[in-house]
Structure 1
Amino acid sequence: MFRQPKVEYKSNQQILTMRKAGLVLSAALDEAIGAAAVGVTTGELNAVFADVLKSAGATSNFLGYHGFPASICASVNHEVVHGIPGDYALQDGDILSIDGGAVVDGWHSDSARSVIVGQPRPEDQRLSDATESAMWHGIAALASGRNVGDVGNAIDDYVSGLEGAPLGILQDYVGHGIGTQMHQAPDVLNYRSGHRGPKIRPGLCLAIEPMLVLGSLETTLLDDDWTVVTTDGRRSCQWEHTVAVHDRGIWVLSAADGGAAKLEPLGVTPVPLS
C-alpha cells in the first residue's frame, strides 16, 4: 500500500502570515506587469520585481531555487514556464507570463500573471482571458468542492466548454500545495483525471495555476535546463494564485482584494481572516 505525501495544514495565524507574503507578491507583480512594454528587457522586469520585494523586507523563493538565477520566471510566446529573464527585449504583440514568489517570516506565496505587450493578436487575447478565467473557475471550485480533484474538474469543464477553436490544457505542469515551502503536497491537476485527491478542509493552501496552449500539448526543455517551450512553436499562457481554505471560506492570498472581483460573479464571496 502506497502512502500519500503528507499535506501541511495551516493555522489561521499562519495563513495571515502567508497573506502578508501574498500582498507583497501582488505589489511586485503589479510593478513588473506595469513595466512591461516594447523595448523593455525581461531582465529589467526581474529587477523591478526584486526591488519591490527588497523594499518590503521579503525574499524571493525563486532566486536560487535548485539553482534558478532570477526572482521571476519570464516566459514569452511559445515559452510555457520557467523562462529565464535576461537580455530579450519585448516586442509588439508578445504574450508574456511572469511567475514569481515571495517569502515573509518563512511562509511562501506564489502567483503568475500574463500580459500582451503592445497590440494583441485576437487569438492571444482569447488565450490569456481563457487561462485567467479557467484559474478563477478552479479557485471557485475550491469553495464548494469536497476533494482537490474538483479543482481540475472545474478547470477542464470550463476550457472544454469554450466556443471557438479548442485550447489545450498542459498536463505535465500542475499546481501544488504551498506553505513553509513553495512546492508541497498535494499536486493540483488542471484537468479531469479520475483522481480525487485529498479532502478540502480548513488549513489547506494551494497554488492553482492552469497553463493553456493554442496548439499541441507536447513540450520541450531547452538547453538551459529550465525553459519549457511548446514543441510546435504555438503560444502558451499561465495564470496562478495562492489560495487558502479556512473555517469560514476561502481567501485568495495573492490577490489584493482577496479574489472578490473575480469570484463574486461565479457565486463565491471570499472571506478574509481579519
Structure 2
Amino acid sequence: MIPIKRGKEIEAMRRSCRVVTEIIEKIRPILAPGITTEEVDKYAAHLIASYGAKSAFLGYRGFPGNICISINEEVVHGIGGKRKIQYGDLVKLDVGIILDGWIGDTAKTYPVGTVDVEDLRLIEVTNKALMLGIAQAQEGNRIGDISSAIERYVLEQGYQVVKEFVGHGVGRKLHEKPHVPNFGKPGQGPKLKAGMIIAIEPMVNKGSGKVLMMPDGWTAVTEDGQRSAHFEHTVLITKNGPEILTLTEDNVELAYHTAF
C-alpha cells in the first residue's frame, strides 16, 4: 500500500520540507574553493541540530555522513571527507532531515565559481527535467507519466538518466512506496492519488548513464568519468495539482513556465 497523508500529517511534512529547504540554502554559501567535504558535512550537522531536527541519512543502512556531498563525476551518496572543493566544480548536496518524526528530502547541484558552459547546461537540463516530471504528478496520472517525461527530455538534450537510483515515497520513513524511476513508459505504474507524497530526483550524466561503486560502498561515480547533476524535490499530490514542498525561489519561475 502507498501511504496517503492527511491533515496534520501533511502539515508536518510541510514543516519538515520547509526546514530542509532552508538548510540546503544555508549550506550553499560555504561551497568555496579549499573547503573540504568533511567541513561541509559538519556545518550541515550544525544547521540540522539548530532546527531541532536530526539527519535522516546518518546511520541509515550504515551511512556515515550527515548529508550526501558528491562532486563532479560522483553521482550520488558521496561521503564527507578530505576531498577539497575546487574552483569550477559541480557540487551536489542531498539533504534529508527528520523533524518531529517526519522526513524532509531535497537535493541540488551547485556550480562553484565559473564553470564550463556545458556544465551549466547539464545543471539546467537536470533541473528542468525534474520540473517536467513534477508537472506530471497529477491525481489520476501514473508514476510512469513522471518517469517518461523526465527520460524523454533528458534524451532529447543528449544526456543520459541514471537508472540504478530512483525517487521514492517519503513520510515517516525516508524510503516509502512507490519507487519513482527517472525512466519508463507513460500510463504505467501505480496511479497517483491526492495525499501521496513522493520524492522525485533525476540524476543526469553527460556521457554514459552507467555508474560504478567506489570502495567505500556508498559513492556512485559515472562509468566514464564525465560529470553528473542531481536535483530532488519532495512533492505532495493534491486534487489541484502537485505541491512542491521543497520549492525554492530559484525554482518558482521555472515551475510556472514548465506548468504553463
1:90 equivalenced with 2:85 (yes/no): yes
Runs (5+) with no aligned partner, structure 2:
none
Amino acid at match of 1:252: I
1:199 equivalenced with 2:224 (yes/no): no
Which residue of 241, 244, 249 corresponds with 1:252?
244
Counterparts of 1:74 and 1:64, CA distance in 2: 16
On the 8 A contact 1:82/1:228 being kept in 2, the answer is yes
1:46 corresponds to: 41
On the 8 A contact 1:95/1:117 being kept in 2, the answer is yes
Amino acid at match of 2:114: Q
Q: Deviation of residue 219 (structure 1)?
A: 1.2
Amino acid at match of 1:264: Y
2:133 corresponds to: 138
Counterparts of 2:250 and 2:222, CA distance in 1: 32
On the 8 A contact 1:212/1:236 being kept in 2, the answer is yes
CA offsets, 1:77-102, max 9 Å, x none?
Answer: 11111000111111111111000101
Percentage of identical aligned residues = 37
Count of matched residue pairs: 260
* 1:8-157 → structure 2 map (5 Å cutoff): 8-143=3-138, 146-157=141-152
Amino acid at match of 1:262: L
| 3-state SS in 2 of match to 1:112 | strand
Q: Deviation of residue 193 (structure 1)?
A: 3.9
1:161 corresponds to: 156
1:218 corresponds to: 210
Which residue of 173, 176, 192 corresponds with 2:165?
173
Which stretches of structure 1, 4 residues or more, deviate above 6 A after TM superposition? none
Counterparts of 1:131 and 1:9, CA distance in 2: 28
Counterparts of 1:68 and 1:267, CA distance in 2: 36
| 3-state SS in 1 of match to 2:115 | coil
Q: Deviation of residue 14 (structure 1)?
A: 0.7
Which residue of 225, 235, 253 corresponds with 2:227?
235
On the 8 A contact 2:58/2:64 being kept in 1, the answer is yes
**TM-score (norm. length: structure 1):** 0.90
CA offsets, 1:16-51, max 9 Å, x none?
Answer: 101111111011101112210111111111122222
**TM-score (norm. length: structure 2):** 0.95
Greater shift in the superposed pair: 125-134 or 253-262: 253-262
Amino acid at match of 1:23: R
2:178 corresponds to: 186
CA offsets, 1:50-107, max 9 Å, x none?
Answer: 2221111111100111111111100111111100011111111111100010111111
Amino acid at match of 1:227: T
Counterparts of 2:250 and 2:144, CA distance in 1: 22
On the 8 A contact 2:13/2:102 being kept in 1, the answer is yes
Greater shift in the superposed pair: 184-193 or 236-245: 184-193
1:271 corresponds to: none
Runs (5+) with no aligned partner, structure 1:
1-5, 269-274
Greater shift in the superposed pair: 145-154 or 198-207: 145-154
Q: Deviation of residue 259 (structure 1)?
A: 5.9
Amino acid at match of 1:215: G
| 3-state SS in 1 of match to 2:216 | coil
Greater shift in the superposed pair: 124-133 or 185-194: 185-194
| 3-state SS in 2 of match to 1:91 | coil
Counterparts of 2:250 and 2:87, CA distance in 1: 32
Counterparts of 2:192 and 2:250, CA distance in 1: 19
Greater shift in the superposed pair: 247-256 or 31-40: 247-256
Q: Deviation of residue 247 (structure 1)?
A: 3.3
